[in-house]
Structure formats: C-alpha cells, structure tokens
Amino acid sequence: MVSMQGISGAGRSPGVAALDSIDNVIPYIPKEEDKVTREARKLLGRARANGITDARIVVSATCTRAAVIEGHTETVSVELGKAATPAEVARVFGNAGRKLAALGLPSMPAELIRVHDDPFRPQPRLDRDAGDGMTTSVGRIRPEPLFRHGVKYVLVSHNTKMGAAKGAILVAEYLVAKGLA
C-alpha cells in the first residue's frame, strides 16, 4: 500500500513546515507506516472475548504527505485467498456496509464504498466529500500480477471525517445499536 495523505492529516503545523507540502510530496511520515501495519492487522483480525486477535498478514506500507488539503489516497495491492475478477471485487466493494445500513444509524452514509468505472477516479477533490465525507471511493480495480490471486485498486477516503471524528461517532452508534455500549 502506498498512501498519499492530505496535509490536514498532519494536524496544525507551523507555517514553514506547512509550506513544505506546497507543490511537493513528502516521502516519509514518522511512525505512520508502523501504525498502518498495526491497524490493518487489528481491523482484519478476530474479535474474541478477551480482545482482538490480530490477523496474521504481511503488510507493506509507504506513507507520504501530498499537496492535498483533505483526503487520503491509497494505491493498494492485495493477495486474495482465491481468484476473483475485477468485476467480482467491485461487486463486493459495492455491497460493503449493507447490513450496517439496515441498522438505520444516523451517521451511516447511503454507500459505504462507491465504486468508479472511470479510470481517472477516485480523486480527492472530486470524491472525498461523497456521503458527506463518510463514503470511501474506489476505482481502477484490476489484476495484480505480483500475486497468484492478486488485485490492486485506488481509494480515496476523507481523513478528517470517516477517518476521524465522524467515523468514531459511527462506531459508537453501532455499539449502542448492538447493545455493546
């Protein structure tokens, strides 16, 4: 995975440091690559009575800061457990969140993931505010020849909405709806 993260992800920076991102891509974000690895293993892990057992997966991440105000763009390559066509992967992405939507949670967008057929999408300026910033946009789904059952794609997600405050509210709404909070 390679991320091109919006400058808002850095928080409030001193003026000169913020200027470093103009017309530039900063090739390193301290601690971010380790964080991505930890979070991916946890998110794809299994919930147990005593906590979460991390998924036993290999994650390779390069995290960069790009001259985009808000929105993180990622290019992702994954190896699937079995072969799948790009159309099958797109269908799975498009169906993501349907059970969650059925709960009627106030912060849940109509689409959790929007799949684009246009090879020039997703783009932060065009797609970060989909679903009021709660919809992740995915495109350029295609085979990944590095892996036996590989697929690669590009995604854009709003880092200060779905990736932060509003995403946390959605999780809290889910926990309440399931009687876990």
Q: What is the mean pLDDT of residues 126-151?
A: 97
Give Cβ neighbours of residue 84 (< 8 Å, ≥ 6 apart): 92, 149, 151
The confidence score (pLDDT) of residue 7 equals 85
The confidence score (pLDDT) of residue 159 equals 94
Per-residue pLDDT of 59-82, as tens digits, reads 999 999 999 999 999 999 999 999
Bridge partners (DSSP) of residue 143 are: 151
pTM for this entry: 0.90
Neighbouring CB atoms inside 10 A of 24's CB total: 12
Say if residue 11's pLDDT is above 90.
Answer: no
**One-letter amino acid for residue 116 of the chain:** H
Mean pLDDT score of the chain: 93
The confidence score (pLDDT) of residue 169 equals 96
**Domains in the chain, ordered, with CATH?**
2-177 (3.30.360.10)
Identify the band that residue 107 occupies on the pLDDT scale cut at 50, 70 and 90. Answer: very high
Say if residue 90's pLDDT is above 90.
Answer: yes
Q: Which residue has the tokens 């930890």?
A: 38
Neighbouring CB atoms inside 10 A of 129's CB total: 16
Identify the band that residue 12 occupies on the pLDDT scale cut at 50, 70 and 90. Answer: low
